[in-house]
Amino acid sequence: MRTPVFVLIEIVIAVALYLAFHFFGNDYLFFAGYTVLQFIVLATAWNILGGYCGYVNFGSAGFFAIGAYTSVCLFTIGQAPEDVFPAAILPAMQAIFPLPVPVIIVIAGIMAGLVGLGTGYLTLRLRGVFFAIATLALAVVLQTLIVNWSFVGGSRGAYVIPANTVPVFGPYIQYLFALMLLLVIVALTSARLIERSSLGVGFATIRDDELAAEACGVPTLKLKLIATVLSGALMGMAGAPFPFYIGYTEPGSVFDLGYAINSIAMPMIGGTTSWAGPLIGAILLGTMQQVATVTISSAVNLLIVGLLLIGFVIVAPSGIVGLWQSWFGKRSKP
Amino acid sequence: MTAPILRIEQLSKRFGGFVALDGVDLAVAPGERLGLIGPNGSGKSTLVNCICGTLRNEDGKVSFDGAQIDGLIAHERTRLGLARSFQLPRPFMSMTVAENIHVPLIYTVGARARHHLSAAELDQRCMELLALVALDGKARHYPRDLTQVEMRKLELARAVAAEPKLLIADEAMAGLSHSEVEDIVKLLIRLNERGITIIMIEHIMRAVMAFSQRLAVLVSGKKIADGTPDDVIKDKDVVGAYLGT
Amino acid sequence: MDFSLLMNAVIAGLLIGAFYAAVTCGISISFGMLDVVNIAHPAFIILGSYIAYIVNTHYGLDPILVSIIALPAFYALGAAVYQIFYVSFEKRGQDSLRGLAFFFGLLFVTEVFLVLVFGVDYRSVDAVYIGSSLHLGPVELPLRLLVPCTVSLVMFAGLQVFLGRTFVGRAVMAVSQDPLALRLMAVDPTRIKRIAFALSIATASLAGACLIIIQPVIPSVGRDYIGRIFAICVLGGLGSLPGTLIAALLLGVIESITATFYGPSWAPAVSFGLLLLTLAVRPSGLLGR
């Protein structure tokens, strides 16, 4: 299937989904659906570095937070530009701010991508294990910095109150939902493009045998940096609308452990070798968690995710996609 | 000799307190067939790793095609024309045999030419290379389905796919049968006739003698002999340290 | 600068640093020597803390004593975990991604399980020595720090003796360097690795008891220690027990000084920041192989 056709199909499904929810009438679907879409982006992003290259990122919450706090920052500036900018450029800034959400998303992606580049540059020359530990370190360092930064509210948190309604979409949540749908399309399309390109081949060699990859001429450090930047940027973009979604942003909810475990569990359970794996994993686990949080408790549902991760990793290492392929025979790539 | 394609001067490599290579000097002429022998642990694989950039040598210089390459990273050296096969084959297990060959075609040949090889070109070159090692029938198979000797051939084919000027074959024949060894020797000679300089590292003396125009001997990190095969195998030190009577 | 404040910060840092060494020596074994990235180690430590807490609260036994009694159970747990890890991952080949995910899952599940059972209130233990201190002139040595410090040093020394002097211990050191040679000596490397890993988990029992003596615990405390453990491991040089001790003491002192003069909210960043710095500048650590 050529890429333009794939994108077209994605857009059709996205529009259909949006309209279906819209006519259902209850905003709850949008709120719950937003979380699942967010997970699809996070899982897909994680998989670019984790599944394709074999480098585990434990700090997804950190990149997510960079996105979220870029939003908080830009929103806070937008509320009172006169507090931040010197008089010389103030008129220009007042014209630009407050920034529309899509612009904020792009800026957040760039910020997160830069952090990914920096971390990667420091640690990707070492074994994959050290990179994983460094990502863990990164998330904690970021959290400590944010907690101590009063401009974004520190540990007290910050309020981001968007408009109540938006032209065309109606309730603000529906607007955010549509933006997230767009991000999902971007993420899935990027992942699929990478998979089928020579970049994807390079990533796979890094995963399989980095030493042999170098001997074949693959510039492993450069490719790993590309993967880290792409992965981090997507995660940052997923985090950018979050303050608008949740209204009150405090470090605990942004650096929630659930993000770390889910962005690993969803691709690993869904299947790490294809763009479809994170999608399946996110939809299944995301929906399950929405149901469980309401019916049981949020702690129990995290427990289930953790147990599923351990179970799948032991029993079905290729994930659901792998199980599908072994039951129905290996098919050519979709 | 005319300007050597590979020149190693006073190469030394230590692992903690252990001296793996001690002041090794070696020059390889373009188009030459050099054999490198020595007991286990003498430093042969370490030497290969230092030449190819997998390891960094502490002292000494490595020059390839007239230019010093000590600071270059492994993939840069491959792109310059230096290729090697691994002693224990390291195929990319999640990719088919054909896809394994695609990797150096994309990342070395394509990178050198600075243009993307089309899918058709990739396929065509890939099949040519596989035919060279008689693996074209197994193009769609995975490495886990291959026999030992087929894996060795894949390893060599992948190294050759990088269109090297110099190929280092690191114990490509260990554990193979008589006829399989002959196959590989013939293959290497065929490759040499195409203009590729080859360094063969081996224990199988029959193969080494049949293949080499020149022979070097490494013992405990030092080169103790370097000359024509007939001279070297009669050398007292070589006989004492490695060959036995 | 208040000199006695600084001095007490340094002393407290040294005492805690010794405890950090006890916390880390398990990982020095599993990661440094066996190359098993057991990031779930802090979870086992917290488990040890909670077990000490339950028995101490219900039966009044001293927490250190409880942890010693629990040693065989932890050893068995460690052996079981290693067996699962070995059969699922190590035997199948190189996939470190799955191994890491497995241990991360264990860490996560343990924490959530503890939250479900014990909730998020801080738990602490009662023992005779908690609350009092030794006063040596201007220097104050709180017993709640001194006792765990002593226990930690004893355990550390015991481990060092075991690794250096006994056959099994030396086999453990050998297995990380040359499993083939070990096999040629008719010793099963897998069995040795299992023993070593089980031992590393057993240390978690003692470390857990020490932890809950030093500070009250909640399940998420484990995550604070991941950074410290790996910072110490990397700084000290993987697989080097003496390096671990030096690095642990160093970290303890730096953290203590930072907390005293800049406030405790910066403490988590110290260890992780140190880790990032070490990884960037000297990944083989101070005394690395």
Chain C contact present for A134, CB below 8 A: yes
Identify the chains in contact with C, defined as 3+ C-beta pairs within 8 A.
A
Does residue C95 carry a pLDDT above 70?
no
Q: Name the one residue in this structure whose structure tokens are 């005492």.
A: C15
pLDDT at residue number C1: 61
Mean pLDDT over A153-167 rounds to 78
Cβ pair B111:A202 closer than 8 A? no
Query: Domain coordinates of chain C in residue numbers?
Result: 3-281
Mean pLDDT over A251-265 rounds to 86
Cross-strand partners of B67 = B64
Question: What's the token pair of residue C29?
Answer: 């074994």
The H or E element that residue A159 is part of is: strand A158-159
Report the residue from A122, A133, A303 with minimal CB separation from C109. A303
Question: What's the token pair of residue C161?
Answer: 């003796």
Q: Which of A132-141, A242-251, B135-144 has the lowest mean pLDDT?
A: A132-141
Chain A contact present for C259, CB below 8 A: no
Q: Cβ–Cβ contacts within 10 Å for residue B97, how many?
A: 27
pLDDT at residue number B201: 92
Q: Tell me: the pLDDT tens digits for B11-31?
A: 998 887 788 898 899 999 999
Question: Does residue B130 form part of some domain?
Answer: yes
Rg (alpha carbons) of chain C, rounded to whole number: 19
State the nearest Cα–Cα gap between A52 and chain B, in angstroms. 11
Chain B contact present for A317, CB below 8 A: no
Question: Does residue B1 form part of some domain?
Answer: no
Closest to C111 in 3D by CA, of A118, A257, A119: A257
Does residue C98 carry a pLDDT above 60?
yes
Question: Does residue B101 form part of some domain?
Answer: yes
- Residue B236 belongs to what domain range? 6-243
What is the per-residue DSSP string for A54-94?
----S-HHHHHHHHHHHHHHHHHHHH-HHHHS-TTTHHHHH
Phi, psi of C91 (to 5 degrees): -70, -35
Does residue A104 carry a pLDDT above 60?
yes
Q: Strand order in B67-68's β-sheet?
A: B18-28, B6-15, B59-64, B67-68
Beta strand ranges found along chain B (DSSP E): 6-15, 18-28, 33-37, 59-64, 67-68, 82-85, 166-170, 197-201, 214-219, 222-227
What residues in A contact B107, CB-CB < 8 Å?
198, 202, 216-219
Render the burial of A80-113: b for 16+ CB within 10 Å, e for the rest: ebeeebeeeeeeebeeebbbebeebbebbbebbb
The conformation of residue B142, written as its DSSP 8-state character, comes to: -
Mean pLDDT over C220-249 rounds to 83
Question: What's the token pair of residue A274?
Answer: 């294809």
Chain A: residue nearest C262 by CA?
A148
pLDDT at residue number B212: 92
Report the residue from A123, A303, A314 with minimal CB separation from C102. A314
Question: Does residue B153 form part of some domain?
Answer: yes
Q: Tell me: the pLDDT tens digits for A200-228?
A: 999 999 999 999 999 999 999 999 999 99
Cβ pair A219:B90 closer than 8 A? no
Sign of the torsion formed by the C-alpha atoms of A256, A261, A263 and A269: negative
Question: What's the token pair of residue B213?
Answer: 């125009």
Render the burial of A32-65: b for 16+ CB within 10 Å, e for the rest: bbbbbbbbbbbbbbbbbbbbbbbbbbbbbbbbbb
Distance CA B153, CA B44 (A): 21
Beta strand ranges found along chain C (DSSP E): 133-136, 139-142
Mutation test of the interface with chain B: which of A125, A214, A216, choosing the one with the most B Cβ atoms within 10 A? Answer: A216
State the nearest Cα–Cα gap between A176 and chain B, in angstroms. 39
pLDDT tier, A333 (very low <50, low <70, confident <90, very high otherwise): very low
pLDDT tier, A194 (very low <50, low <70, confident <90, very high otherwise): very high
Mean pLDDT, rounded, of chain C: 84
List, in order, residues 6 or more apart from C75 with CB less than 8 Å away.
C198, C199, C201, C202
What residues in A contact C88, CB-CB < 8 Å?
313-314
pLDDT at residue number C132: 77
Cβ pair C101:A264 closer than 8 A? yes
Chain C contact present for A316, CB below 8 A: no
Please report, for the domain that includes residue B125, its CATH number.
3.40.50.300
Q: Name the one residue in this structure whose structure tokens are 């699942």.
A: A36
Does residue C256 carry a pLDDT above 80?
yes
Does residue C215 carry a pLDDT above 70?
yes
Chain A contact present for C218, CB below 8 A: no
Residue C30 CA from chain centroid, whole number: 11
List, in order, residues 6 or more apart from B194 with CB less than 8 Å away.
none
Distance CA C188, CA B196 (A): 45
The H or E element that residue A170 is part of is: strand A170-171
Cβ pair B110:A216 closer than 8 A? no
Chain A: residue nearest C89 by CA?
A314
Q: How many domains is chain B partitioned into structurally?
A: 1
What residues in A contact C218, CB-CB < 8 Å?
none
Chain B contact present for A214, CB below 8 A: yes
pLDDT at residue number A144: 82
pLDDT at residue number A223: 95
Mutation test of the interface with chain A: which of C84, C94, C95, C100, choosing the one with the most A Cβ atoms within 10 A? Answer: C100
Question: Does residue B91 form part of some domain?
Answer: yes
Identify the chains in contact with A, defined as 3+ C-beta pairs within 8 A.
B, C
Q: Name the one residue in this structure whose structure tokens are 């333009």.
A: A4
pLDDT tier, A43 (very low <50, low <70, confident <90, very high otherwise): very high
Amino acid at A192: R
Report the residue from B54, B92, B159 with minimal CB separation from A204. B92
List, in order, residues 6 or more apart from C120 with CB less than 8 Å away.
C218, C219, C220
Chain B contact present for A82, CB below 8 A: no
Residues (pLDDT < 50) of chain B are none
B62 in Cβ contact with B50 (< 8 Å):
yes
What are the Cα distances from residue B35, in Å, to A220, B83, B174? 31, 16, 15
Mean pLDDT over C43-61 rounds to 91
List, in order, residues 6 or more apart from A209 with CB less than 8 Å away.
B90, B91, B92, B93
Residue A207 CA from chain centroid, whole number: 21
pLDDT at residue number A334: 43
Domains and CATH numbers, chain A: 3-328 (1.10.3470)
Report the residue from C105, C279, C283 with minimal CB separation from A306. C105
pLDDT at residue number A332: 45
Binding-site residues on chain B for chain A (CB distance < 8 A) = 52-54, 73-75, 78-79, 83-84, 86, 90-95, 99, 102-104, 106-108, 110-111, 116, 158-159, 161-162
pLDDT at residue number B159: 93
Parallel, antiparallel, or unpaired: how do β-strands B214-219 and B222-227 relate?
Answer: antiparallel
